[in-house]
């Protein structure tokens, strides 16, 4: 019997232990063993191996052992810069949302101060009107006004053309971020996931799911 892959519903998490193969019958470590076998050799490719190795070293370095126990260190900006340094990257691309221009500006300064060369490109690059992708006046944020469309494919192609070695995504909208990631060549990390309501901290909505957002926990619920 084939089972759906549903790790979020797992009640016997063993994949984090040495008994990783003792999960439930539905565990993809068992049901998707062929895929696991097939993908593992990818980590043997030298470039991928080094990338994965440095990423895991970086992960370790975000924990600090103190006499009283473990504590977390390195906010994400620092984690990102440290990882890029480990990888020996020099040219960093920033794909940012126009609504987060100030944040992108500060990030640029921080990275330049650390010796990186930063190439940054705004989501509105090209100045293409939203009508180009079929939006009608009523689809606009302010009907009747000029509105420039977000242009994530061009953002990606500009960074590809600039041969950035590593990219940082800053606040692109849902969907625009997906298009960017689909078209960009260099590895890209997300520094800021846009959330207009929750101060770009979408996890806050999940943390509030037993309180203010509890109605979302009922099947079929949603906001209009
Ligand atoms: S991999 Fe298996 S053990 Fe790990 S969370 Fe998924 S179902 Fe659970």
Residue 212, in any domain of the structure: no
Q: Can you tell me the distance from the alpha carbon of 135 to that of 131, in angstroms, rounded to the nearest whole number?
A: 5
Pocket test for ligand 1, best of 26, 28, 35 (most atoms within 8 A of CB): 28
Residue 2, in any domain of the structure: no
31/49 same-domain check: no
Nearest to 87 by CA among 189, 193, 192: 189
Pocket test for ligand 1, best of 13, 21, 26, 36 (most atoms within 8 A of CB): 13
Ligand 1 atom with minimal separation from the 16 CA:
4
Nearest to 56 by CA among 86, 28, 77, 18: 86
Quote the pLDDT of residue 1. Answer: 61
Nearest to 70 by CA among 57, 79, 61: 61
94/184 same-domain check: yes
18/65 same-domain check: no
Phi, psi of 21 (to 5 degrees): -95, 10
Determine which residue's CA is closest to atom 7 belonging to ligand 1: 27
Structural contact between residues 64 and 94, judged by C-beta atoms closer than 8 angstroms: no
24/69 same-domain check: no
Q: At CA 187, angle to CA 182 and CA 193, rounded to 5?
A: 70
Nearest to 61 by CA among 42, 38, 81: 81
Instruction: Decide: residue 177, CB within 10 A, 0-12 exposed, 13-18 middle, 19+ buried.
Output: buried
Sorted by sequence, the CB contacts under 8 Å of residue 90 that are 6+ apart come out as 116, 117, 165
66/37 same-domain check: no
pLDDT in tens, the chain (224 residues): 689 999 999 999 999 999 999 999 999 999 999 999 999 999 999 999 999 999 999 999 999 999 999 999 999 999 999 999 999 999 999 999 999 999 999 999 999 999 999 999 999 999 999 999 999 999 999 999 999 999 999 999 999 999 999 999 999 999 999 999 999 999 999 999 999 999 999 999 999 999 988 888 888 887 76
Nearest to 36 by CA among 15, 17, 54, 50: 15
Which range of residues forms the domain containing residue 21?
A: 12-41
Quote the pLDDT of residue 219. Answer: 86
151/76 same-domain check: yes
26/88 same-domain check: no
In the reported structure, the alpha carbon of residue 29 is separated from the centroid of ligand 1 by a whole-number distance in angstroms of 7
In the reported structure, the alpha carbon of residue 25 is separated from the centroid of ligand 1 by a whole-number distance in angstroms of 10
Residue 150, in any domain of the structure: yes
Q: Which residues line ligand 1 (CB under 6 A)?
A: 7, 10, 13-15, 23, 27-29
23/62 same-domain check: no
Total domains in the fold of the chain: 2
In the reported structure, the alpha carbon of residue 23 is separated from the centroid of ligand 1 by a whole-number distance in angstroms of 7
pTM of the model: 0.94
CATH number for 151: 3.40.50.1860
Residue 98, in any domain of the structure: yes
37/54 same-domain check: no
Determine which residue's CA is closest to atom 2 belonging to ligand 1: 27
In the reported structure, the alpha carbon of residue 3 is separated from the centroid of ligand 1 by a whole-number distance in angstroms of 13
Residue 35, in any domain of the structure: yes
126/182 same-domain check: yes
19/107 same-domain check: no
83/180 same-domain check: yes
């Amino acid at each position: 019997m084939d089972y759906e892959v549903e790790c979020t519903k797992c009640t016997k998490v063993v994949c984090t232990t040495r008994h990783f193969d003792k999960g439930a019958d539905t565990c993809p470590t068992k049901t998707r063993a062929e895929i696991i076998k097939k993908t593992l050799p990818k980590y043997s490719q030298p470039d991928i191996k080094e990338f994965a190795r440095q990423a895991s070293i970086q992960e370790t370095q975000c924990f600090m052992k103190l006499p009283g126990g473990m504590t977390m260190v390195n906010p994400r900006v620092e984690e990102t810069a440290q990882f890029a340094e480990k990888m020996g990257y020099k040219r960093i691309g920033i794909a940012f949302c126009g609504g987060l221009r100030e944040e992108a500006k500060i990030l640029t300064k921080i990275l330049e101060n650390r010796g990186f060369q930063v190439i940054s490109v705004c989501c509105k690059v090209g100045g293409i009107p939203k009508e180009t992708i079929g939006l009608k006046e009523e689809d606009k944020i302010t009907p009747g006004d000029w509105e420039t469309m977000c242009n994530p494919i061009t953002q990606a192609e500009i960074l590809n053309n600039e041969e950035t070695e590593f990219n940082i995504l800053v606040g692109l909208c849902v969907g625009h971020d997906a298009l960017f990631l689909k078209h960009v060549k260099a590895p890209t990390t997300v520094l800021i996931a846009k959330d207009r309501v929750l101060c770009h901290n979408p996890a806050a909505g999940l943390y509030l799911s037993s309180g203010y957002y509890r109605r979302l926990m009922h099947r079929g619920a949603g906001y209009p």
